[in-house]
Homo-oligomer: A and B are copies of this chain.
């Protein structure tokens, strides 16, 4: 397995593989790999000749009061897991390698960001768009794999790729869950015992909302309120948001007559958890952006 710490080396490798006619599947991560990431790697492995994994905790996408310093890191374990999954190349730069000085060029995401997580994380998706643009240029992927747990990120990457004409296919991959339904996340380690028991009710609340749609309820407000009440009833977490929007455009709608996302974020003592479901007006789940 190739481990690159220099942008130049990563790019030279990718360009060489593309020139050899190999397809590259790219899985960008912030490390501390879990089964969700492994799932993305395996998806890439199924389709592409070469799998490139990046591990980079991107300071640009953390707000000043967020957990950049505290974000969990375990490089040794990450590299072992990548090796085990037969990843071809890992790109693991330090901050200075990615941002050697102040940037003259700024990327701003003007749409799909003033809702859901974007609402309380100002500038977060600008940082995501910036680092992905750099990483796409360094890893030259044919396909980029993203988990649908962060469905808003997938919507933003969809806009990034289309607006700037990246020659990349975005592959959204369904959320991987624990047996009790809790979405896998690096931040789950911050939950205490009691919180860990309550956390699956975030998913159950969304499933309750989807159940209502499946049974003919199609009013947005009703569904949002039902989901909120369900979360309040079963957890002591503080709700950041529950929302129901079109997907991937993330626009509000009164009645559900097209593909939607039902999403929620809840603060526990030391972790903010997010989850979502994407489904058609009949309640049928979907993982497709087309």
Q: What is A's interface to B at a CB cutoff of 8 Å?
A: 7, 11, 15, 18-19, 21, 102-112, 129, 133-134, 137-138, 140, 156, 159-160, 163-167
Asked whether A137 and B159 contact (CB < 8 A) given A106-B108, A107-B107, the answer is no
In the bound complex, residues from chain B placing their C-beta under 8 Å from that of A138 are: 165
Asked whether A11 and B105 contact (CB < 8 A) given A18-B18, A18-B19, A19-B19, the answer is no
Assess the B105–A167 pair: CB atoms within 8 A. no
SS of A interface (majority): mixed
In the docked arrangement, what's the CA distance between A233 and B109, Å?
A: 49
Assess the B110–A137 pair: CB atoms within 8 A. no
In the complex, the chain B residue whose C-beta lies closest to that of A12 is: B167
Assess the B111–A129 pair: CB atoms within 8 A. no
In the docked arrangement, what's the CA distance between A164 and B159, Å?
A: 17
In the bound complex, residues from chain B placing their C-beta under 8 Å from that of A110 are: 103-106
14 A-B pairs with C-beta separation under 8 A:
A11-B165, A15-B167, A18-B19, A19-B21, A104-B159, A105-B107, A105-B109, A105-B110, A106-B107, A106-B110, A107-B107, A107-B108, A137-B164, A138-B165
In the docked arrangement, what's the CA distance between A49 and B109, Å?
A: 37
In the bound complex, residues from chain B placing their C-beta under 8 Å from that of A156 are: 104
Assess the B108–A129 pair: CB atoms within 8 A. no
Nearest Cβ in chain B — how far from A115, in angstroms?
A: 13
In the docked arrangement, what's the CA distance between A138 and B165, Å?
A: 7
In the bound complex, residues from chain B placing their C-beta under 8 Å from that of A164 are: 105, 133-134, 137
In the complex, the chain B residue whose C-beta lies closest to that of A11 is: B167
In the complex, the chain B residue whose C-beta lies closest to that of A156 is: B104
